[in-house]
Structure 1
């Protein structure tokens, strides 16, 4: 392994939401000492392989002057059971400012493995290797994995202290605080390390956030240990004192406005008869935040209402011709039907009445054969819903001979129509109904400006838009609607509040199974649902039980 390999910072790609969340904690032992006068100042770079290239994911803080560092920084990864996720950990003696990498960093060794290996072992220790596979002395790296998928909250804590012991001869102490979780086997796991407050015996440390799983393994009575140190640039920090508490005790004391603990140095307590403490640590703020998952909302009674919009423009070809994208072959469903059924069969499991709104656009419709961009394909403008996905299929097949394929390809009217329903839902102030609009089209939309405007407005509402490109057209311009490559903006420059559009060219998945197609098309929906309700600060309606019949009977 080479330490001088070019490291590329990974772009801000949003991971698929169905993965499990895993936290990785790192420590090293017996690192090589590359500094002539002091010990190494190590940090670890995490890289992940994507398409044969190593991309930098994140970097730990720098632990000054230490050959046995325990890093406070926690890496949060998405774990997919079905994928081989290759990781690389590179340890450097860091010389850059504030832990930033620079050309002068000394490579202390690296280790490659898969995330699956770490998860399977939970705690994995491997030797660090230099270039050409040589051992870096006795250097090792330990990676501890914790599954936080079931965690539904995090806590924000803020500590300060008063009258700490002065450990410095010519100035005041430079205190920092470490918070440890005591594990079942009695070992202590570093949860968080604060910044150093220079020359101050009454420090106020910056607030920090930590998941409940990290803090106490979601067990509020698990012992927690706080240690206060006087920072030393050579790594020989002076111990000021410590205390033990629990998260349950923290909450109770904070509510009663008595959240302070004596910071005790056991050696001083034994030696000094009148010794009371080495200062007092105060919990200045405690905020508990609940983070709800997609399944929390679904199991709380949130319904997913699906609207299907089908392109009936002339570019699809005459349905009577076997080359038409709308050709009905009883033995081989066309691309519209395949995409419709694959996505619809998943969505209908989350809607208690199993009814789909089914619309068409770009056709001349009876009786006057005027062009319409949002007509009910069952020709009932008062009730455009069909019974289940099979009802949509039948309405589509009955509609084809009755309309004239025309144009242009305008989708803004249908987005606005669904947005009006979503706006009415938003006014209820409950997480009760979320809307998915599935648009099936054979070409780039004609009204791109109006479509961008409609999507930006819809990004404030409980809805997502999925566009499936059918056929072999050049869909390059459609990628602008999918916010993965940057924030979508309206023609007036207003940014979308959330990325609510997923664009998928069907030709890339035409040989895939219906399950694989549905997984790809619906990959971003759970994240979008959670993002919307979290932004609105709306909890699930009922976490105790379902309010309707809908449920994840066939999770995507």
Structure 2
């Protein structure tokens, strides 16, 4: 509970040997959502290194309710100078002072040493309220070393630190935008290529026995039943790709599952499932596996409303054998500037290197020298969620959680880059 403390907990590591203790302290964080960006520099700091000058860095401490201090930020080290200018940094107000504007914020100045025995240069204290005055004027702090002050009568200070800039902005959450009326629009695209196997065969990824849904249907239900709670009209455009479609048997990479070109929307996830199963009975699985057409289809719709009132999520379920990688990368890079996210669920045993590349978590996706503005793709392999214990409900809950984990951050990144703030929710 807030403010409570646990007993000293003995550390364990080497059997039979006491390895120290850990004391846990807890304090309830305020719900203050402001974020501070500030920049500091220093002047005439004490020289600590025998060769060269000093390598200064700052350590910020938040004061706790019991009078102790907790580190909340460290700046980078600026090498070989007594007059460093540190890079601007951003920190939540709740981390700096827990929303208490008059609570002490202590800052220590250190000289960095390679062996970790950093030399203490001095310290100064301030508060959020005092720091915030720098919005209209520079604030200069004297860096004091208590030991030097006691020993030297003529001691003045160990240098000064100047707050160059200080700005505050509110941090909005995913829920703020949903409450403010942002509509999530969920579109489904399902892989109907021949590499999935004939739907009538038990080895097919589309095969549904009387006792269990196919991998495609399971993934669709797991993700869709979560996201449909955020989709106000519960109408989901649903497409298939990579099949020959009746009546003329032409290959299509964005055919409506409900066979209605004018209105491809299905009522709820159950409606999508029903149309999916119906399509399996009427189309011929074929190929190639092209993602770009359906991505461009949704991107075209997303481009029509970019004021933050609409956000689109495209769920692609595939066996991962992609044929139009270059065009898909181009489509994703273009879509990255739009209010849109793409979820890819890979089913089956294939290697998914191409999907991992599209995900862009490790390396930002690029096409023809142009980089994606935002990371908008989340990929998960379905096989990672097949629970050996047979607890399908738990497995699908984990799948839904991980698949949807990046959507709030992706939505927020779009809103932030466009400086779109959530509308005020209408009073109930």
| TM bucket, shorter chain | 0.7 to 0.9
Which residue of 1 is the match for residue 409 of structure 2?
A: 527
Structure-1 residue corresponding to 2:400: 518
Say whether residues 1:335 and 2:215 are aligned partners. Answer: yes
Partners of 1:140 and 1:276 lie apart in 2 by: 40
What is the total number of aligned residue pairs between the two structures? Answer: 414
Alignment correspondent of 1:497: 373
Indicate how the Cα distance of structure 1 residues 447 and 145 shifts in structure 2: closer, same or farther if over 3 A, else same. Answer: farther
Q: 1:399 to 1:284 in 2, by over 3 A?
A: same
Give the alignment partner of residue 248 of structure 1, picking from 106, 129, 147: 129
Shift of 1:307: 0.8
Where do 5+ consecutive residues of structure 1 fail to align? Answer: 1-118, 550-556
What are the within-5 Å matches in structure 2 for residues 352-391 of structure 1? 352-391=232-271
Give the whole-Å Cα distance in 2 for the aligned partners of 1:174 and 1:360. 60
Deviations 1:304-355, CA, capped at 9 Å, x for gaps: 2111112223344444555544445554322222111111111111111111
CA shift, 1:216, in A, is 0.6
1:349 alignment counterpart? 229
Structure-2 separation of matches of 1:134 and 1:298: 53
C-alpha distance in structure 2 between counterparts of 1:383 and 1:310, whole Å: 17
- CA deviations 1:241-288 (Å, max 9, x no partner) are 85x54312332x324437456778999999xxxx99998764321122
SS of aligned partner of 1:394: helix
1:123/1:144 contact within 8 Å kept: no
Q: CA deviation at 1:378?
A: 1.5
The corresponding residue for 2:64 is 183
Task: State the Cα distance separating 1:420 from its structure 2 match.
Answer: 1.2
Unaligned runs of 5+ in 2: none
Give the Cα separation in 1 of the matches to 2:211 and 2:21.
61
Change (3 A) 1:284 1:356: same
1:472-498 Cα deviation digits (max 9, x unpaired): 4454554333334534333x3443333
Aligned residue for 1:445, secondary structure, equals coil
Change (3 A) 1:123 1:423: farther
Residue 442 to residue 291, structure 1, CA distance change in 2 (3 Å): same
Does the Cα contact within 8 Å between 2:11 and 2:21 map onto a contact in 1?
Answer: yes
Report the secondary structure of 1:424's partner residue: coil
Q: Offset of 1:162 from its aligned partner? A: 7.1
Alignment partner, residue 442 of structure 1: 319
Using the TM superposition, give the Cα deviation of residue 400 of structure 1 relative to its aligned residue in structure 2, in angstroms: 3.1
8 Å CA contact 1:123–1:145 kept in 2: the answer is no
User: Given that residues 360 and 375 in structure 1 are in contact (C-alpha distance below 8 angstroms), is that contact kept between their aligned partners in structure 2?
Assistant: yes
Q: Is the 8 A contact 1:300 1:540 kept in 2?
A: no
SS of the residue aligned with 2:304? helix
Q: Where do residues 458-473 of structure 1 align in structure 2 (5 Å cutoff)?
A: 458-473=335-350
Please, what is the CA RMSD of the aligned residues? Answer: 4.6
Asked whether the equivalents of residues 121 and 158 of structure 2 are also in contact (C-alpha less than 8 Å), the reply is no
**In the alignment, which of 265, 272, 276 is matched to residue 392 of structure 1?**
272
CA distance in 1, matches of 2:117, 2:323: 66
* Change beyond 3 A, Cα 1:296–1:371: same
| d(CA) in 2 for partners of 1:509, 1:408 | 27
1:518-551 deviations in whole A, cap 9, x for unaligned?
A: 12332332333233333x1434423x4269x9xx
Distance across 1 between alignment mates of 2:104 and 2:27: 18
For the residue of structure 2 that corresponds to 1:284, the secondary structure is: strand
Distance 2:285 2:346 in 1: 17
Question: CA 1:393–1:134 in 2, change beyond 3 Å: closer, same or farther?
Answer: closer
